[in-house]
Amino acid sequence: MNGLYRPRHGRMIAGVCAGLARRFGLSSTTVRLLFLLSCLLPGPQFVVYLVLWVMMPSEERRMAGSR
């Protein structure tokens, strides 16, 4: 399970930060803090988060599709 997906456990809102953290070997807290800090900068951070929420498969769907 090395792909990019939203985990079932450890979610705060949609699991996007937790999924990115697992994929890149970081802690979920670190990724969440980086996201919050990035919101202080101008840019489409919330839009990117929403797009990742829609595009990243959930762990349940990923596991069901591998059978």
CA distance 59 to 64: 9
More confident residue, 61 or 42: 42
Of 4-13, 28-37, 43-52, 58-67, give the lowest mean pLDDT range: 58-67
pLDDT in tens, 23-43: 999 999 999 999 999 999 999
Q: Is the pTM of this model over 0.75?
A: yes
Dihedral, CA atoms, 38, 4, 63, 65, nearest 10 degrees?
A: 120
What pLDDT, on a 0 to 100 scale, did the predictor assign at position 56?
A: 92
For the chain, how big is the Rg over CA atoms in Å?
A: 12
What pLDDT, on a 0 to 100 scale, did the predictor assign at position 62?
A: 58
For 58, phi and psi rounded to 5 degrees?
Answer: -75, 155
Query: Is a pLDDT exceeding 60 seen at residue 67?
Result: no
